[in-house]
Amino acid sequence: MKRPSTGADLNRLRRMNALSALNAVRTAGMPLTLSALAQRTGLSRASAEDLAGELFEQGWVVDVPPAAGTVGRPARRLRFRAEAGHVVGLDVGLHKVLAVVADLAGGVLGSARVGVQPETGRADRLSAADAAVRRALEDAGIGVEQLWSVGAGTTGVVDEDGTVVLSTLAAEWTGAPLGRHLGNVCAGPVAVDNDSRLAALAEHRRGAAIGVDDVVYVHAGLQVSGALIIGGRLHRGFSGAAAEIGSLPVAAWSTATRHLTECPAVPDETPVEEAAAAVLAAARRGDAEAILAVDRFSSDLSVGAATMVATLDPEVVVLGGGVARSADVLLPRLESELASMCVRVPELRPSPLGDECVALGAVHLALDRVDAALFGPQGELRPPGVPTREAG
């Protein structure tokens, strides 16, 4: 005998329908009519109209005015209130700390950059992170009370609590409690992960790998590192050390950039962070020493990349980091090297995101935590407000 529905069952069904409607409006990318909302959710138009009214009263959606010159009674159109809350994405790097403020749709509203160095100590690096967040909020005209979540990417292996388990590049950074520290900044959820992994997330959400399920990401700047996306999700591994190819001596990733930074083609007085770009530009012009340096760099880069390609057999390999701006010089060489080692060479794509890729990935990490807190299938849809950390 079928058990009759209880009030609790009906309330849960209505909550699930409200979440579905909200998610439909949020992900549409354009204002939705009630008919379109019903179609996307599988609800009747009457139910869609009822839920739209509830979401409007709670402040999750607003009506979009009809276009000028509209004849007759226009259909009601709704858009998600992306401005209802805000997140910060943070890139705590070796040479910079970059903070980006975004709305709930990922739209960037402000940013700030604070310079650091590899030898910068833990306390000063954490202070730089605080300063970057504060200045980015000021740039966006946002108060900290409007901040719903913080995401951060940093060099090294990071555990689930946001503690840096191992960092061989930044002074005093092993053991840094970055997640706990950022919890003092934001009342909502805080999430921290490896910087290359978040750069890969940015490529998957808004860069060169949108809609691609299996991706190998190679980040080549002053250091070389990698990340994997498997089945459309970041792959952390059991301990968060997945794709740490740089720790393998045979891959030579830890020393690969020296071919560029120590090349005789680098003009005198060139800052180290601009040396690679100078060599790649010289190689493009046909400078023999620069071409040799780029060839050696590409050879070293390919060994670790081939290891990941052979393991995952991805659809796409994305080249990110500072060298991605010289993809015309690097990608043909990398493709040739991979062809000599791999059964199949995936499509190679350069990143379009520049040096904001880690911070943008951190924005999406923060937004994912907001989703888990407010829009998840077991969550409770509440009026806009800072979600609690426990809810995430």
Which of residues 46 and 222 earns the better pLDDT score? 46
How many whole angstroms separate alpha carbon 204 and alpha carbon 272? 29
**Domain range summary for the chain, segments of one domain joined by +:** 7-80, 85-199+357-375, 210-352
In the chain, % of residues over pLDDT 70: 91
In angstroms, rounded to a whole number, what is the distance separating the alpha carbons of residues 338 and 353? 24
Quick one: pLDDT band at residue 385, thresholds 50, 70, 90? low
Find all residues with CB under 8 Å of 345, minimum gap 6, and list them: 309, 335, 338, 339
pLDDT digits (tens, 9 = 90+) for 148-168: 999 999 998 899 999 999 998
Q: Does the domain formed by 210-352 have CATH 3.30.420.40? A: yes
Domains 7-80 and 85-199+357-375 share a fold: no
pLDDT, residue 383, reads 61
What confidence score (pLDDT) does residue 392 get? 39
Residue 284, CA atoms < 13 Å, CB-side half-sphere: 14
Helices and strands (DSSP H and E) totals, the chain: 11, 15
The correct CATH number of 7-80 out of 3.30.70.60, 1.10.10.60, 1.10.10.10, 1.10.3210.10 is: 1.10.10.10
| pLDDT of res. 274 | 86
Picking from 366, 353, 375, the residue whose alpha carbon sits closest to that of residue 162 is 366
Q: Helices 272-285 and 327-339, interaxial angle, to 10°?
A: 80
Confidence grade of residue 271 (pLDDT, cut at 50, 70, 90): confident
Predicted model pTM:
0.87
CATH T-level fold of 85-199+357-375: Nucleotidyltransferase; domain 5 (3.30.420)
Tokens of 167: 């960092």
Q: Please state the length of the chain.
A: 392
Task: Check whether 231 has a pLDDT greater than 90.
Answer: yes
Q: Which residue has the higher pLDDT, 139 or 251?
A: 139
Pick the range with the lowest mean pLDDT from 167-176, 215-224, 235-244, 320-329. Answer: 235-244
pLDDT tens per residue, range 19-78: 888 888 888 888 889 999 999 989 899 998 898 888 888 888 898 887 665 656 778 889
Higher pLDDT, 229 or 30: 229
